[in-house]
Structure 1
Amino acid sequence: MKRDRAFGDSALTALAPAIWGTTYLVTTEFLPPDRPLLASVTRALPAGLILLALGRTLPRGMWWWRALILGVLNIGAFLYLLFVAAYRLPGGVAALVMSVQPMVVLALSALLLKEKVRAIHVAACVVGAVGVGLLVLQPHAGMDAVGVGAGLLGAVSMAAGIVLTKLWGRPEGVGVLTFTGWQLTVGGLVLLPVTLIGEGLPSTLTGSNLAGFAYLGLVGALFAYAIWFRGVERLPALAVSFLSFASPLTATALGYLVLDQALSPLQVVGAAAVVASVVLAQSRGSRRKKTAQAQEAPPEFADA
């Protein structure tokens, strides 16, 4: 029963990065060109305000600055960097560049959560780093340096957010939907003035643009982040981070099936190495807290 519950938690959590893997296709095919800030704000802020209206609870005390930090790391900075990568790189490549996130989580977990670093985890990091190197350091791959840099920084931002979320938890009596709403709202509000000053608003929006924004806001943010933060709460930080590999798998599959994108042979080897690093670390990473998790009674998904 407990094993089935853990599998169910992992499967539901993996659905969030799988949804995020569709971001690259939606960005290139439905959104206005070269609007990463606008895409970030419209994805985060409306969904956050909806959840705030439903929860009707604001942060208190130290949770004001904690919500600010988590909102910037998990939402504001991460979404902006995600869309920069999505606009500048093929979807599968952008998602695979960001798959270095588990390696960053491993290092931060050892530093902040005092989790023991195992040899198998170090090996996974080395294999993953080699894989990402093969993926992006190709002379004829046409990799955009800004896109690659944005993807790597986005991975660091989300990794820091995951670890700090595990470290701080959430306030007693505050449901995960309200907690998600805080972060989405903070992330959107931080980006809003930058968007208005740096990009401005487009003169026109097509029906496809509106459909793309609606999908990213309702499905890619409101729903996906709710189940993601639920998973971050219930699963070990390293285990939940490795589930993010569902994003590049989804993005790569959609790029191949819909956009006729392809990877060079060495890039395929690099992608396989990244997959191997995930499997290698996941084989041990999810066991360490099994006993402790079995004794915990995690809060319910919905607001009480």
Structure 2
Amino acid sequence: MEANVRWVAVTAVAPVAWGTNYFVTREFLPADHPLYGAACRALPAGLVLLALCRKRPRGVWWWRSAVLGLLNVSVFFVLVYIASQTLPTSLASTVMAVSPLTMMLAAWVLISERPRTTHLAGAGVGLAGVCLMLLTGAEEVSVGGVAASVAAMLASSFGYILARRWSDGTDVLASTAWQLTAGGLLLLPAAAATEGPPPALSAPALFAFAYVTLIATALAFTAWFTGLRHLPTGTVGLIGLLNPVTGVLLGTVIASETLTVQQLGGLALVLTGVALGRPTRTDRRGTGRAAPAAPGRRIRLDIPGALREPGPRLEERHRGDPGAPEERGRQPSP
């Protein structure tokens, strides 16, 4: 159980970092270069992780990295940028808060992981909390912005479940590096063709890109994909609700905004939803221990000379064998 708590804490790094990314991007990064902004966020992060892991894709991971990089990086980064520019942050965050339910349904279809009742309840409670915390009814709604936000949520949810399905023991740091690098490389030609030369960056913008690249991308995505390896999908999706919570708390601390009673109530509901998705003792993923064998189940041991079938079959195998343990004591003395 302690291992599950540790993986929850690691996974929570991602939505907290992503919650700060909205503020940094809006305040310091160029607003009219979304493709270059996404490429400059993804590609350096991928190269940093590649330098750390020093592993190249092999076999199927060449095309898997391209597919995951397209969904989780290229498409997702650009759509999130469009949504953040055309929608109020509160509305964009509320649309993205539906992602836990989307991830659970995608996991059910793609990897046959049936969501627990508590996960579904947590998603409903958390979504209600996000709506209560962020929606005031005064926002001007852009149909294009809502469509971009929904598309970003669907693309990332599908990409995250594919990453979980394709987790074949490949190092998390390496697979994350390949996705980010592939996504950044796919964005560069599109940015050059659409936006022309790269924008000139001021010193604050360079520091902002450094933060977005190292913390909100390299560290955050590594933590997120680590959580997908070790925790149920429903738990990971609900942890993602900490993203809008971080945005609200950041506005309170930096922008001197005041938390209203409505926001405090919404915050309490979001945290309740996250708590409902906590791993249980029956969630074996991430405990580091194999599930015990069922009674009567054959066990294969990859140890030279080891006995491979316990129970009555062992007795049958050795019956009449002078070297067998049960027969050795019955042989007459020479």
TM category, shorter: 0.7 to 0.9
CA distance in 1, matches of 2:206, 2:243: 23
Moved more, 237-246 or 260-269: 260-269
Q: Deviations over 1:38-75 (max 9, x none)?
A: 22111100111222234332222222221112112222
Partner amino acid, structure 1, of 2:153: A
1:218 to 208, 214, 217: 214
The aligned runs of 1:37-48 (5 Å cut-off) are: 37-48=35-46
Quote how far apart the aligned CAs of 1:184 are. Answer: 0.4
Partner amino acid, structure 2, of 1:61: G
Partner amino acid, structure 2, of 1:180: T
1:254 to 250, 255, 260: 250
How many residues are aligned here?
Answer: 290
Partner amino acid, structure 2, of 1:168: W
More RCO (CA 8 Å, sep 6+): 1
Partner amino acid, structure 2, of 1:20: W
Q: 1:182 corresponds to which residue? A: 178
CA distance in 2, matches of 1:130, 1:145: 22
The aligned runs of 1:14-33 (5 Å cut-off) are: 14-33=12-31
- Aligned residue for 2:56, secondary structure, equals coil
Q: 1:235 corresponds to which residue? A: 231
Residues 276/150 of structure 1: CA separation in 2 closer, same or farther (3 Å cut): farther
- Aligned residue for 2:223, secondary structure, equals helix
Partner amino acid, structure 2, of 1:240: V
The aligned runs of 1:51-66 (5 Å cut-off) are: 51-66=49-64
On the 8 A contact 1:17/1:244 being kept in 2, the answer is yes
Moved more, 182-191 or 66-75: 66-75
CA distance in 1, matches of 2:199, 2:288: 56
Moved more, 121-130 or 75-84: 121-130
The aligned runs of 1:259-274 (5 Å cut-off) are: 259=255
Q: 2:322 corresponds to which residue? A: none
Partner amino acid, structure 2, of 1:194: A
On the 8 A contact 2:20/2:247 being kept in 1, the answer is yes
CA distance in 2, matches of 1:232, 1:13: 8
- Aligned residue for 1:22, secondary structure, equals helix
Residues 10/89 of structure 1: CA separation in 2 closer, same or farther (3 Å cut): same
On the 8 A contact 2:69/2:181 being kept in 1, the answer is yes
Q: Deviations over 1:168-216 (max 9, x none)?
A: 104x4x4322211100001111111111112233553211111111111
CA distance in 2, matches of 1:217, 1:145: 30
Q: Deviations over 1:245-287 (max 9, x none)?
A: 121111122233334668999898877766655444x15xx23
Deviating beyond 4 angstroms after TM superposition, the runs of 4 or more aligned structure 1 residues are: 118-139, 260-280
* Percent identity for Structure 1 against Structure 2: 38
Unpaired segments ≥5 residues, structure 2? 291-334
- Aligned residue for 1:33, secondary structure, equals coil
1:101 to 94, 99, 109: 99
On the 8 A contact 2:94/2:134 being kept in 1, the answer is no
Q: 1:290 corresponds to which residue? A: 283
Unpaired segments ≥5 residues, structure 1? 298-304
2:188 to 183, 189, 192: 192
- Aligned residue for 2:221, secondary structure, equals helix
Residues 139/12 of structure 1: CA separation in 2 closer, same or farther (3 Å cut): closer
Q: 1:11 corresponds to which residue? A: 9
Moved more, 182-191 or 58-67: 58-67
Larger C-alpha radius of gyration, 1 or 2? 2
Residues 250/131 of structure 1: CA separation in 2 closer, same or farther (3 Å cut): closer
CA distance in 2, matches of 1:200, 1:274: 42
- Aligned residue for 1:21, secondary structure, equals helix
Partner amino acid, structure 1, of 2:251: G
> C-alpha root-mean-square deviation of aligned residues, in Å?
3.0
CA distance in 2, matches of 1:53, 1:96: 36
Q: 1:245 corresponds to which residue? A: 241
Structure number with higher helix proportion: 1
Quote how far apart the aligned CAs of 1:32 are. Answer: 1.1
Q: 2:68 corresponds to which residue? A: 70
Q: 1:169 corresponds to which residue? A: 167
Q: Deviations over 1:78-132 (max 9, x none)?
A: 2112222233334444333212111001101111121224444445555566667
